[in-house]
Amino acid sequence: MENISNSTNLNIRVDSKLKKEADELFKRLGLNMSSAINVFLSQSVREQAIPFEIREGTGNKELLSALKEAKNMSKKPQNYKWYDNTKELFEDLDK
């Protein structure tokens, strides 16, 4: 495990109900919150990604709307204006 002299503190804000439910789950799994977060961080670094799938329905309304729009755009690109570079985009936005 890690050497205590190499550790650092991480302060995060989390919903109190979510924290309580997570504490209960991790306790059943034989972990404390710190160990569970270390497992998550280690897996993320090892895989160079979030170590689980993030699916539609887990984000806020604005994010879900943007994801839906992007999906629709990829299905019917002919219905949308595309730009070859950011200069063209910004020129169009300034009109």
Q: Is the pTM of this model over 0.75?
A: no
Residues composing the chain = 95
Q: What is the pLDDT of residue 22?
A: 94
CA separation for the pair 33, 20 (Å, rounded)? 10
Query: Secondary structure of the chain: what % helix, strand, coil (to 5)?
Result: 60, 0, 40
Give per-residue pLDDT as tens, 8-40.
998 999 999 999 999 999 999 999 999 999 999
| Across 53-57, 80-84, 87-91, least confident range | 53-57
